A and B are shown apart, each in its own frame.
Chain A
Amino acid sequence: AQSVTQLDSQVPVFEEAPVELRCNYSSSVSVYLFWYVQYPNQGLQLLLKYLSGSTLVESINGFEAEFNKSQTSFHLRKPSVHISDTAEYFCAVSEGSQGNLIFGKGTKLSVKP
C-alpha cells in the first residue's frame, strides 16, 4: 500500500538560508507526486507536481523538487527562504491519475528573521 513519510515535522531556518523538506514514499507502481502548501489561516494550495518527464520540477516562487525513483523520494528545496515562506508543507502521492491522494503528515517551516 502507498504511504508517504515526511521525516521532519518542524524545520526552523533563518531568512535567506537554504532549506530542504524531505519526503519519501512507498509504492510498487508508477506514481504522481505533489507538494501542497498551507499558509497560516489559509487553505491548501498546490505548490508543484511531478506527473512525468523531467524529474526536476519548479514552482513560481522559487521552490523545486526532484523525483528520485531509486530512492523513492521527492524532496522540496529552496536556495534562499523568505519570511513569507512560513507555512506547513505537505507531500502527497497518487498511484496513477485515477488513484486518490495520500498525504504525508506535513512539515512546518518556520522562517526567522
Chain B
Amino acid sequence: KAGVTQTPRYLIKTRGQQVTLSCSPISGHRSVSWYQQTPGQGLQFLFEYFSETQRNKGNFPGRFSGRQFSNSRSEMNVSTLELGDSALYLCASSLVWGVHNEQFFGPGTRLTVL
C-alpha cells in the first residue's frame, strides 16, 4: 500500500506570493491533517479535514487555508507569503477523524520564502 504522498517536495517562493501544497492520503484513509515544522516553533497543528469538512483548526492566521476533495486528497494554501512561513509542511492521514487513530505522515514539502 502506498504511503502518504506530498507534492511538490521542495518549493521556493518570494514574499507576497501564494502557494498551494498537495497531499494524497493512504488509500482508504478519510482524514487528513496538516502541520508546520520549524526549528524555532517545532511541530504545530494547522488543520484537520474529514469527509471534506474542516474538523479542527490550529492557531494560524487566515492566510493559511485548506480543503479536502471527495477522493480525500487535500490541499493547503498560503497566501501573501512571509519569510516566517519558511518551513517543512507535513501532511498526515488516518482512517477516520480523531487522534486516537494512528496518523501516518508524509515526507513533507519544504517551503522556502525569499
A30 to B33, CA, bound (A): 22
The answer to whether the Cβ of B90 comes within 8 Å of any Cβ in the partner chain is: yes
Please name all residues of chain A whose beta carbon is closer than 8 Å to the beta carbon of B48 when the two chains form the complex: 100
Interface residues in B, total, Cβ within 8 A: 25
Count contacts between A and B, CB distance < 8 Å.
57
B44 near A: Cβ within 8 Å?
yes
Is B90 touching A104 in the complex (CB atoms < 8 A)? no
Most buried by A among B33, B42, B55: B42
A100 CA to B36 CA, complexed, in Å: 13
Question: Is A51's CB under 8 angstroms from B100's CB?
Answer: yes
Chain A, interface size category, equals 20 to 34
Residues of B within 8 A of A100 (CB): 33, 45, 48, 56, 58, 99
- Please state if A98 and B98 are interface contacts (CB–CB under 8 Å): yes
B105 touches A106 (CB 8 A): no
Shortest CB-to-CB span from B89 to chain A, Å, is 12
- Give the distance in Å from the alpha carbon of A103 to the alpha carbon of B83 in the complex: 23
> B6's closest neighbor in chain A, by CB?
A43
Q: Which residues of B in the span 8-63 have a Cβ within 8 Å of any Cβ on A? A: 33, 35, 42-45, 48, 55-56, 58
**Which residue numbers of B lie inside 8 Å of A, CB to CB?**
3-4, 33, 35, 42-45, 48, 55-56, 58, 90, 92, 97-100, 102-108
> A residues bordering B, Cβ < 8 Å?
32, 34, 36, 42-46, 49, 51, 90, 92, 94, 97-106
